[in-house]
Chain A
Amino acid sequence: MSETEQGPKEATVQPLLRVAALQQRIGRRVVLKDVSFEVFPGERFGIFGLAGSGKTALIHILAGVDRFTSGSVEILGHDIGKTEKFKQYTGLVTQERSLFQDLTAGENLDFIAALKNAGREAIPPLVERLALEDYLKTPVSRLEAGVYQRLSLACALLNEPRLLLADELITGFDLDSRRLILDELAGYLERGGTCVWSFSSMEFAGLMSRVGWLENGELTVYSPQAVWEKWNELERSSARRSGEAHA
């Protein structure tokens, strides 16, 4: 744990999210074993892991969607195993499509705003910033991946969450959408938001303030540079193994 980075050092700052000894078992398989970390206000906390490492499982637990086996998760001081109150402070962007398929984009914004008890007035600025005006009447099932993700983000931000949980926020979609999403995220952080962002492509590591590396159910926290080093080391050892195999 020598490379482990601490967050902002001031002792006065309380963590926004505190995960301690989190365990998740699915059948006999241990998906998360003893995961602990803290996220402080204003951070852009990355969770890196390759496919199947448990990123989605972790994000869904943090969002209060899935049960977990043991451990504790606190968001803004609320124990998420005991209360639902924290949900008014969180927003979730899922990896799989999870908007209401039989509604249009506009109807989705409207409906999810109602679900989140957020005012309608939050909708127009988000629509404008994420350039969704032209799509409001399109059924979400017909939206392209990039636009869909912009809409997902808009829906997640409707209640101006203190903590945004984003699962694979950016994947291989068009560059305009990518730009719009990154801008919106920057704006959100500027306005005082905090973000936990899971990703599986190293290119985003540089955008994070810290990165939790999820592997074999364990999470280790690194600085962005340290993550790059670890990644390069892994690549080298993989190449070595492959060379030995071919020799």
Chain B
Amino acid sequence: MLRQSLAIMGREVRYLWRERGLRHILLLGSLLGILLFWGIYSAQVLKEIPTAVVDLDRTKQSRELVDGIRNAEYLKIVAVPESFQAMEEMIKEGRAVVGVVIPEDYGKKVSLHRQVRVLMVVDGSNIIYATNASTAILTVTRTIGTRAGIATLLARGIPLSQAEDAYRGVNIEDEPWFNPTLNYAYFLVLALALNIWQQCCTLTACMNVIGETGLNSWRQIRAAGVSRLQLFFSKSLVHIIVFMITVLPVYLLAFEVFKLPLRCGFPALLLFTLVFAVAVHGIGTLMSSFARSAVNSSRFGMIVALPSFVLSGYTWPVEAMPRWLQPLVKVLPQTWFFQGINYFTFNNAGWGMMTHYMLIMAATAVCCYALAALFISRS
């Protein structure tokens, strides 16, 4: 019994190795993934948003305003175009994301305490830029407004203390938790690499049953009288071990080299990943049990694995999706895995939550394996 199982496992390892496509995918896929994503997000934070300032006034007052913008966090003045049209052109071409237009009579009006309008433009087509830019602008405009307001009040003969009181208002201190530098690489790199990893795993798992029953050698196995349970259990064990081995370098790079946050402890993370690996393997096995060929099996698997990251709510939250879609995405183990990765690596959300998540993923795995067993026994 054990000898049979070991022989099956040995053959499976050889199979995975000799199938060059799978070998490349498993060995290189997720590693290349994490390196590429780290490269893409190596800037880490989205500071220095390119800003174009049109100063039509060129007075002391307007230069003060420009200085205010220059000192604003996140904004970086990259150009001082001559006209509104030139600024518009820059935004159209994407050379500037923020545009500021200081009107001609700015200095004069400010010294006369008359009303004056400053135009601030944000290119909203890329939201990652636009949200940060609007926040930066909100801070700048508040400072400008306060300074000008106090000056006006003083000019009206209101004492300084009262003028300041009028504008004292409420101050806030903002505290980004879990990712205090608002680091985009922390947010996305690991999750994206794991997304590639789970796709690679799905592709491998999709060969599980059809890779055996679709070959002529299936007759040898049938003739030898090996039980299907023993056969597929041994094969699956190899797959899952291989999945876990391939995720190790990803974690190593992520936590040791790139220093991504890991608050929940490595053993707990590995356990969590193991349960997910089993669930993904279950899905792949299910696809491979009813597909007519390896290609179709891979396609079915990818139909689940491909959109699962977008659906997982890792980026765009599940709460913001339509109500009818929410239960649907909660069936996918990927949803629990990616959400969990976020909660456990950033916040260490605790064992209670982790066991809850693992139970759900394990339940998916059990359902998939049971269905697969049904299909295999009927074939």
Contact between chain A and chain B defined by CB under 8 Å: no
